[in-house]
Each structure stands twice: as structure tokens, then as C-alpha cells.
Structure 1
Amino acid sequence: MESYILEQNGGVENLKKTTLDTPFPKTGEVLIKTKSIGINPIDIQVRASKDVLGMITGGHFPDQVILGWDVAGVIEKTGAGVTEFKPGDEVYGLLNMPGLGRTYSTHVIANVEHIAHKHKNLHFTAAGATPMSAMTAWQAVVTLGNIQKGEKVLIHAASGGVGHFAVQFAKERGAYVIGTASAKNEAFVRNLAVDEFIDYTSASFEEKVNDIDVVIDTINSVEHVLRSISVIKKGGRLVYLQPHFAEALSSKLEEAAIKGFGVFVHSSAEILNEISNLIEAGKVTPQITQVFSFDQLPEAQKVVESGRATGKIAVEIN
């Protein structure tokens, strides 16, 4: 099989495509022939920083690092004890998070507790780019945010990978949703059925909103998350995607009488099946805006690393 090996932490030039032996699935595992993978911000963070790599792996630094957590493909082999999947099944999942998913490969080993059957109306390209962003958004909106019908919700970077799923989940739960993005992404965000749109480049969100029940702040900035606290009503909730911000936020949250939750997504077939049902019912649609070939994977990383990607970036493998 072909895989991208991270030779050392640093720039994208440290991703080297090489040929490896195709692994054999152990008990409770399957071997997937990869059709598509998603590129996520955590991919870039782990690639760039040994500290983040250590955080993801629990301090273990393997000799061979293969990045990637999102995958969609076709099962080729099953290990002992696997009864719910068989060769030929089309599946997708977020693999081994926390840990190394090793999905930057033409073949991938997956624990059956991390994958779900792919519905026929979900194309492989979209399926491969869905799990991590959608499951992160699910945890933010459903598990932690506990967003209820009629609540006023502010979602930052609503045009992003996590943000565009969060908007759809919040709307499906009956919330009044306000989304922020730049003016060039206004049409994209409005097509997600937000109730209000804020162009953050023309006005600060603090000038536009107040008395918010829940803010989902996807921005990787403590200063930005602190600003979000100012628009939340007492007793409201703040959900942020950088759990290590907790210490910096705690006193301000207490002072404002707001509950704060940091998201750290975990692999879960159960949650992915919930999301799959919404996609199958047409209530949630993954938005794939750019598709790259496996040879172009480093270029796909550059797009995500720029911080200006809209929707999801996918890599197809033939």
C-alpha cells in the first residue's frame, strides 16, 4: 500500500509518500480499501508540533507516524470476531481518536467500534470528509451545548468544516441560528438556512448580538473566545474547540455566570450512526468545496492550513 509518512514535525514538506506492507486486521478490526479521506486542522497541528503529537498519542511517539483520522472506503478483509461488517461493505469513520488514525494510506485498519455503514446516497468523497468535523459539531451542539428549540445560538466561522455542520445540527434542533463568516462566504452560510448572518470583517459581533443562549466558538484564539463570553446571557453556555483554553477562561466564565465546555472529539460509531441518519433523511448535507487526488494531499493540507477553507476539503483515492 501507499502511505504518507511524517518524517519529522514541521512543514508540509515532511510528508513523504512511500510504499509499505498492507496490514492484516486483528480481532475486532477490518481492512478498508480507501476511497476518500478528509483533511482537518488537527492534521496540520499534529504535523507541525511534536507537543500536539504527544498530546494526541498520550505521550507515545511511534517510530512511524501516519497522519489522518477521516476515512471512507470498502472493506477488503475482516478480523476475528467481526460479525456486523463483511468484505464489500461501504463504510466510513473517524479512526482511533485520540491516537493515530493512520488514514493517509491507500489501505487502513479500523476498529469496528469506530466505523459505520455508508448510506448509498452519501458519495464516498463526502463520506470521507465528514466524520471528524461532523462529530465535533455534534458534540458541540448536542452533547455539550445541549441546544434546545427556540434558543438563540451564535456560531463563529459558520462556513468552516465544523461550523457548517454545527449550523445544520442547531437548525435541525429548532434553534434560532446566527452565523459569522467573511462577506465572500455569505451566500454559502445563508444557504445553510441561518436566521442571521454577520460579516465579521465589517463589524464586530459584539455590536450586532447580545442575550445569546449558546455560543459555539470554533476560532483558535483565547482572545476571541473571551469576546464571545460578553454576548452570552447569564446561565448560558459557551462551547469552544480548544479544550486547553479552559484555564484561561475559567475566571471570566465564573464572573459572567456562564457554563463553558471544551470539545475533544472521540471516535464513536454510535454518534456517527446518528449523523448518518440525518444525512440519509436530507436534514444535513456535507459541503465539499475542494477535492484533491492522493498525489496532491500535501496541497490539500496547505488549503486547510491557510485557515480560509470553506466547507470540507477531501482527498480521493482511486
Structure 2
Amino acid sequence: MKAYILEKNGGVENLKQVQLKDLVATGDQVLIETKAIGINPADVLVRNSDFMLNMITGGNVPEQIILGWDVSGVVKQVGEKVTTFTVGDEVFGLISMPGLGSTYATEVLASEHQLVLKPENIQFSEAGATPMAALTAWQAVVTKANVKSGDRVLVHAASGGVGHFAVQFAKEFGAYVIGTSSAKNEDFVRSLGVDEFLDYTKVPFEEQLEKVDVVIDAINSVEHIQRSIKVIHSGGRLVYLQPHFAEALEASLQEAKVEGFGVFVSSSAENLKEIASLLASVKVNTKVTQTFSFDDLKDAHNVVESGRATGKIVVVTE
């Protein structure tokens, strides 16, 4: 099989395509013939930082590092304990997060408990682009924020991978949704169904809106998240994607009487089944904006690392 190994932390030049031995499924493992791989900001962070690599693996960094967590494909082989899937099934999932999913490969091994069937109405590219971003948004909007009908919800970076799912999930649960982005992405964000669009480059967002019940803040900045706290009603909820910011935010949250939740995405077939159902019913859509070949995976990394990508970036193997 072909795979990309990370020779050392740093730039994309440290991702090297190699030929490795084919994999074999045992126990509860499913062997997937890869069709598509989602590329996420987390992939870039772990590639760049030995601190992030150690954190995500719990310090158990293997000698051979294969990055990647998102995958969709066809079941090629199943272990003797697998009961959920059979050869030929079309599946997708977020593999071994936290840990190393090793999905930057033409074959991927995964526990059957991390996979779900791909809805028939979506392409492999859409399925492969979905798991990490959608599960992060689900665990933020549904699990932590418990968004319900009538809530006023502010979603920052609404044009991004996590943000575009967060908008759709909040709308599905009956919320009034406000999305922030730059003006060039206004049409994209409005296409997601937001009730209000805010151009954060024009006027600071906290000067543009009335207080809200929930903020989903995907921006990697303590200062930005503290600004978000100021626009939340007393008793409201803040969800941010950097759990290690908790200590820095504690005083501001207490003063504002706001609940704060840090989310670090984890693999969950249970959550992904809910998301797959929404994709199957076309109540939620995965917006793939750029597709790259397996040989051009480094270019996909560059796009994600630029911070200017909208929707989802995906790599396909054929």
C-alpha cells in the first residue's frame, strides 16, 4: 500500500510518500480500501508541532508516524470478531482520535466501533471530508452547548470546516443562528441558512449584535474567546475548541456567569450515525470546496494551513 509517513515535525516537506506492506484485519478490525481522506487544521497542527503530536498520542509516539484521522472507503477485509460490517460495505469514520488514525494511506485499519455506513446519496469525497469537522461541531453544539429551539447562537468562523457544520446543526435544532466570516465568504455562509451574517473585518463582532445564548468559538485565541464571553447572556453557554485555555478563561466566565466548555473531538460512531442520518435526509450537507489527488496531499495541507479555506478540503485516492 501507499502511505505518507511524517519523518519529523515541521513543514509539508517532512511528509514522505512510501510503499508499505499491505495490512491485515484481526479481531474487531476492519480493513478499508481508502477512497477519500479529509484534511483538517488538526492535521497541520500535529504535523508542525512535536508538542501536539505528543499530546494527541498521550506520549506514545510510534517509530513510524502516519497522520490522518478522516477516512471513507470500501471494506476490504474484516477481523474474526467483526459483526457490524461485511466485505464491500461503504463506510466512513474518525479513526483513533485521540491517538493516530493513520489514514494517510491507501489502506486503513479501524475498529468497527469507529465506523458507520456511508449514506448512499453522498459521494466518498463528501463522506471522507465529514468526520472530524462534523463530530467536533456536533460535540460542541449538541453535546456541550445543548442548543435548543429558540436559542440565539453565534458561530464564529462559520465558513470553516467546523463552523459550516455548527451552523447547520444549530439550525436543525431550531436555533436562531448568527455566523461570522469575512465579506468574501458571505454568500457561502448565507447558503448554510444563517439568520444573520456578520463581517468581522468591518466592525468588531461584539459591537454588531445583541446578547446571545450560545457562542461556538473556533478561533485559536484566548483574547477572541474572552470577547465572545462579553456577548453571552448571564446563564448562557460558551464552547471553544482549545480545552487547554480553560484556566485562562475561568475568571472571565465566572464574572459573566457563563458556562464554558472546551471541546477536544473524540471518535464516536454513535454521534456519527446521527450525522449520517442528517446527511442521508439532506438536512445537512458537507461542503467540499477543493479536492486533491493522493499524490498532491501536501498541496491540500498547504491550503488548510493558509487559514483561508472555506468548507472542507479532501484528498481522493483515484
Report the counterpart of residue 137 of structure 1 in structure 2.
137
Q: Output the amino acid matched with 1:247.
A: E
Seq. identity, %: 63
Distance in 2 of aligned mates of 1:216 and 1:232: 11
8 Å Cα contact 1:210-1:233 kept in structure 2: no
Matched, 1:22 2:22: yes
5+ residue gaps, structure 1, are: none
8 Å Cα contact 1:41-1:305 kept in structure 2: yes
Superposition pairs of residues 65-214 of structure 1, within 5 angstroms:
65-214=65-214
Distance in 2 of aligned mates of 1:104 and 1:98: 16
Matched, 1:296 2:296: yes
Q: What's the offset of the Cα at 1:122? A: 1.1
Q: What's the offset of the Cα at 1:68? A: 0.2
Distance in 1 of aligned mates of 2:22 and 2:246: 41
Any idea what SS the aligned residue of 2:296 has? helix
Any idea what SS the aligned residue of 1:239 has? strand
Any idea what SS the aligned residue of 2:153 has? strand
Q: Output the amino acid matched with 1:273.
A: K
Moved over 6 A (4+): none
Distance in 2 of aligned mates of 1:53 and 1:288: 27
Report the counterpart of residue 56 of structure 1 in structure 2.
56
Q: What's the offset of the Cα at 1:209? A: 1.3
Aligned length: 318
Q: What's the offset of the Cα at 1:155? A: 0.3
Report the counterpart of residue 257 of structure 1 in structure 2.
257
Q: What's the offset of the Cα at 1:268? A: 0.9
Report the counterpart of residue 267 of structure 2 in structure 1.
267
Q: What's the offset of the Cα at 1:291? A: 0.2
Q: What's the offset of the Cα at 1:80? A: 1.2
Q: What's the offset of the Cα at 1:3? A: 0.3
- Cα deviation per residue 1:144-196 (whole Å; 9 max; x = unaligned)? 01001001000000000000000000000000000000000000000111000
TM-score (norm 2): 0.99
Q: Output the amino acid matched with 1:215.
A: V
Q: What's the offset of the Cα at 1:44? A: 0.5
Report the counterpart of residue 39 of structure 1 in structure 2.
39
- Cα deviation per residue 1:251-285 (whole Å; 9 max; x = unaligned)? 11011100000011111111100000011111100
Distance in 2 of aligned mates of 1:238 and 1:111: 33
Question: Superposition RMSD on alpha carbons, in Å?
Answer: 0.6
Distance in 1 of aligned mates of 2:4 and 2:247: 36
Q: Output the amino acid matched with 1:302.
A: N
Q: Output the amino acid matched with 1:139.
A: Q
Distance in 2 of aligned mates of 1:179 and 1:164: 9
Distance in 2 of aligned mates of 1:64 and 1:226: 39
- Cα deviation per residue 1:279-311 (whole Å; 9 max; x = unaligned)? 111110000000000011000000000111000
Q: Output the amino acid matched with 2:283.
A: K
Distance in 2 of aligned mates of 1:10 and 1:83: 40
Q: Output the amino acid matched with 1:107.
A: E
Matched, 1:315 2:315: yes
Distance in 1 of aligned mates of 2:209 and 2:235: 17
Q: What's the offset of the Cα at 1:210? A: 2.8
Report the counterpart of residue 285 of structure 2 in structure 1.
285
Distance in 1 of aligned mates of 2:193 and 2:100: 35
Any idea what SS the aligned residue of 1:128 has? helix
- Cα deviation per residue 1:216-258 (whole Å; 9 max; x = unaligned)? 0010111111110010010000000111111110111011100
Any idea what SS the aligned residue of 1:219 has? coil
5+ residue gaps, structure 2, are: none
Q: Output the amino acid matched with 1:234.
A: S
Q: Output the amino acid matched with 1:159.
A: S
